[in-house]
Amino acid sequence: MDMKATSGKKLGLKEKYRHMTRGLDWEPSYQKKEDIYPYMAYEGIKIHDWDKWEDPFRLTMDSYWKYQAEKERKLYAIIDAYAQNNGHLNVTDARYLNAIKLFLTGISPLEYMAHRGFAHAGRAFPGAGPRVACLMQSLDEIRHAQTQIHALSNYNKHYNGFHDFSHMLQRVWYLSVPRSFFDDAVTAGPFEFMVAIGFSFEYVLTNLLFVPFVSGAAYNGDMGTMTFGFSAQSDEARHMTLGLEIIKFILEQDPDNVPIVQRWIDKWTWRGYRVLTLVGMMMDYMLPKRIMSWKEAWEVYFEQNGGALFKDLARYGIRPPKWLDQIAFDKDHISHQAWATFYQYGAASDFHTWSPTDDELDWLSKKYPDSFDKYYRPRLEHWREQAKQGKRFYNTTLPQLCQVCQIPMIFTEPGDPTKTCYREVDYLGEKFHFCSDGCKEIFENEPEKFKQAWLPVNQIYQGNCFPDGTDPTVEDFEPLAKVLEYYHVNFGRDNLDFEGSEDQKNFAAWRGMATTNE
Amino acid sequence: MAVAAVKDYRFDSADRLENFHGNQLLFVGWEDHLMFCAPFALALPPSMRFGELVDTTLPGAFGYHPDFARIDWSAVQWFKSGQPWQPDFGRSLADNGLRHKDVIRFRTPGLTGIDGSCS
């Protein structure tokens, strides 16, 4: 490339951008394109002209580093100050910490997986424009994973359950939900990955993930978490732009792409929505100071914002995702169903659960006038009463899981919250079970993929979830104790009820030391 | 299309019967009692008598519920894959036609959970 380095003039922004992105691309001369980009055809997506790609943000690598470094300097200064001033003692209540344990174990590892996914997709695309955009997002995602882990490591010095998130992600029963979601995405082809994560997750659903956690942190005095949330915000705006660009680009390239993209939008909206069940539960039960209910968040961030988006996409022949009727009905239910699940399997988790206070029950009644008092309050009050009598409910029999979302089969029939929703399919002589029509249809589209699902419950029964060298045939063998050992969950410290926990006692004692002269 | 893949793609199912060391999975749900958040997954020998499942396994799984002690087992309605079904308590799971990963549910007429909330 002949660039005159001696002119003495600085390149203009536009020129610089062109040179440092598309200008770095070249046409192969002695290798075939399909050998260099082997994943371009098998998903059925047809791209005729990669140059039609509109770069959603004009950022070059050098300015990327400069800009991000500045942001991170500020972020780490705040995180350090927060740590040095024992900021953790300013959170509303030690119960709050369990919300960020959920974030660290369930969400931060997904940032890392997103990093891998975008790096892979970027490598796979023959177009220089999307390749550069994917590269930047890939870097964003690994930075987010790092800043989150660093920010939350402060809590690991003081509280239980933060100690081994990456080990747990591969093993703990409920973490298979976010993990399998992302494993499904990164093992799909590059186009499906972009629709799954770039569009459905980052564009359609991201506000339902980050707003609740970041606002939840702000409302509950957690400046560390709040700061990494704000620091990531400008990146998220870029990610949303990329998500929208990729979908418009694919749809404009060939009409044959429309039904494929539609199927992916249906699949990934449903899968993402299922993962967000955890967020709904966090919002309605785990934040001592609530921000809004899950139902309200869904209405604002999906029904209103998402509604406008799909109106816009209608001109490409795209309709709103399937199963929205069921989702609209279920917004009154899923957070309660999820909390009941974690409450009863509280012996097998790495965070604490508890009975809501009277105030909290009343808040739930008010936010869910059509469902809470009728279906869920009796259950919670019964459990609270039992706990007072020393009979706190710990369910020790393993639940049936959905083959696709891997959530226990806790969801109810569309339109009837008193009936568990059962769906099943016979495939090559074996039965497979699902929590919903959505998960069932996803399986039917790709049974060869989903029949390999690593379902934690079934793996326990196969004997694959004990520490090495365990002999399950010995007398007095306690399978659940061995499973916790395999999870690296410390019994009596990380799990069980918040009431009486070490976290509760320590927080009260340390806050007492910080705020009184006792 | 059973999967989108760049080349031939065939693997065994992760939960095929032979992985369960002689047991088979049976899923059991109790209608109108959603205090148990999901149906249970049990790994049982196919030779187990159905009556033994009811007498020894189900109490451990569902016994926490105050309704459980009130169940009249002769009046219980059974379902297999959602269809009405009549088990023979004296015969084995296998002889009752229960195969690996079958799902059964039971309904206990008159018992509908805490304060009738189906909890």
The percent of residues above 90 in pLDDT, for chain B, comes to 96
Question: Using the beta-carbon criterion (under 8 Å), do A408 and B61 form an inter-chain contact?
Answer: no
Residue B3's pLDDT is: 87
Q: Is A214 inside any structural domain?
A: yes
Q: What is the mean pLDDT of residues A353-362?
A: 98
Residue A14's pLDDT is: 85
Residue A203's pLDDT is: 87
Taking the CA atoms of residue A393, residue A173, residue A432 and residue A443 in that order, the dihedral angle to the nearest 10 degrees is: 130
Domain range annotation of chain B: 22-116
- The shortest C-alpha distance from A418 to chain B (Å) reads 6
Residue A306's pLDDT is: 87
Q: Do A443 and B3 meet the contact criterion of CB atoms below 8 Å apart?
A: no
Task: With beta carbons under 8 A apart, name residues in chain A contacting B21.
Answer: 462-463
Task: With beta carbons under 8 A apart, name residues in chain A contacting B60.
Answer: 396-397
DSSP H/E element including B42:
strand B40-44
Residue A296's pLDDT is: 97
Task: With beta carbons under 8 A apart, name residues in chain B contacting A177.
Answer: none
Give per-residue pLDDT as tens, A300-333. Answer: 999 998 889 999 999 999 999 999 999 999 999 9
Residue ranges of alpha helices (H) inside B1-119 are 50-52, 58-62
What average pLDDT does the structure give for chain A? 94
Q: Is A124 inside any structural domain?
A: yes
Decide if pLDDT at A2 tops 70.
no
Measured N-to-C along each axis, helices A176-186 and A108-124 cross at an angle, to the nearest 10 degrees, of 10
Task: With beta carbons under 8 A apart, name residues in chain A contacting B64.
Answer: 393, 395
- Give me the CATH code for the B22-116 domain, please: 3.10.20.560
Residue A7's pLDDT is: 60
- Assign A58 a pLDDT band (cuts: 50, 70, 90): confident
- Assign A375 a pLDDT band (cuts: 50, 70, 90): very high
Q: Is A310 inside any structural domain?
A: yes
Question: Using the beta-carbon criterion (under 8 Å), do B117 and A374 form an inter-chain contact?
Answer: yes
Q: Is A40 inside any structural domain?
A: no
Residue A230's pLDDT is: 87
Nearest CA in chain B to A411: B38
Q: Do A374 and B117 meet the contact criterion of CB atoms below 8 Å apart?
A: yes
Decide if pLDDT at A4 tops 80.
no
Give per-residue pLDDT as tens, A465-484. Answer: 999 999 988 988 999 999 99
Question: Using the beta-carbon criterion (under 8 Å), do B14 and A446 form an inter-chain contact?
Answer: no
Decide if pLDDT at A211 tops 90.
no
Residue A460's pLDDT is: 97
Nearest CA in chain B to A382: B114
Q: Do A98 and A496 meet the contact criterion of CB atoms below 8 Å apart?
A: no
Name the residue facing B37 among A39, A337, A382 (closest C-beta): A337
CATH number of the domain to which A272 belongs: 1.10.620.20
DSSP 8-state code for residue B70: G
Question: Using the beta-carbon criterion (under 8 Å), do A420 and B1 form an inter-chain contact?
Answer: no
Decide if pLDDT at B69 tops 90.
yes
d(CA B34, CA B36): 5
Decide if pLDDT at A16 tops 90.
no
d(CA A293, CA A367): 7
Decide if pLDDT at A3 tops 60.
no
d(CA A275, CA A9): 52
Residue A204's pLDDT is: 86
Give per-residue pLDDT as tens, A155-194. Answer: 999 999 999 999 999 999 999 999 999 999 999 999 999 9
Q: Which residues span the domain enclosing A282?
A: 51-515
Residue A147's pLDDT is: 94
DSSP per-residue letters across A78-143 = HHHHHHHTTGGGGSS-GGGHHHHHHHHHHTHHHHHHHHHHHHHHHHH-S-HHHHHHHHHHHHHHHH
Q: Coil, strand or helix: which one is A305?
A: helix
CB pairs under 8 A between A and B: 148
Q: Is A1 inside any structural domain?
A: no
Q: Do A78 and B40 meet the contact criterion of CB atoms below 8 Å apart?
A: no
d(CA A140, CA A232): 8
Taking the CA atoms of residue B59, residue B62, residue B66 and residue B70 in that order, the dihedral angle to the nearest 10 degrees is: -60
Q: Is A76 inside any structural domain?
A: yes
Q: Is A196 inside any structural domain?
A: yes
Residue A117's pLDDT is: 98
Residue A380's pLDDT is: 98
Decide if pLDDT at A5 tops 70.
no
Min mean pLDDT across A49-58, A90-99, A255-264, A365-374 is at A49-58
Task: With beta carbons under 8 A apart, name residues in chain A contacting B14.
Answer: 451-455, 458-459
3-state helix, strand, coil in chain A (%, to 5): 65, 5, 35
Residue B17's pLDDT is: 98
Q: What is the tally of structural domains in chain A?
A: 1
Give per-residue pLDDT as tens, A20-52. Answer: 888 889 999 999 999 999 999 999 999 999 999
Pairing of the two strands B77-80 and B102-107: antiparallel
Give per-residue pLDDT as tens, A480-518. Answer: 999 999 999 999 999 999 999 999 999 999 999 988 887
Question: Using the beta-carbon criterion (under 8 Å), do B37 and A422 form an inter-chain contact?
Answer: no
Q: What is the mean pLDDT of residues B46-69?
A: 98
- The shortest C-alpha distance from B10 to chain A (Å) reads 7
What average pLDDT does the structure give for chain B? 97
Task: With beta carbons under 8 A apart, name residues in chain B contacting A432.
Answer: 101
Number of Cβ atoms within 10 Å of the Cβ of A411:
27
- ipTM associated with this complex: 0.98
Q: Could you give phi then psi for residue A116, rounded to 5 degrees?
A: -65, -40
Decide if pLDDT at A1 tops 60.
no
Q: Do A344 and A393 meet the contact criterion of CB atoms below 8 Å apart?
A: yes
d(CA B94, CA A11): 78
Residue A54's pLDDT is: 82
Closest to B66 (Cα-Cα) out of B4, B115, B11, B3:
B115
Closest to A143 (Cα-Cα) out of A38, A70, A86, A45:
A70
User: Residue A22: what residue type?
Assistant: R
Q: Could you give phi then psi for residue A321, rounded to 5 degrees?
A: -60, 155
Decide if pLDDT at A400 tops 90.
yes
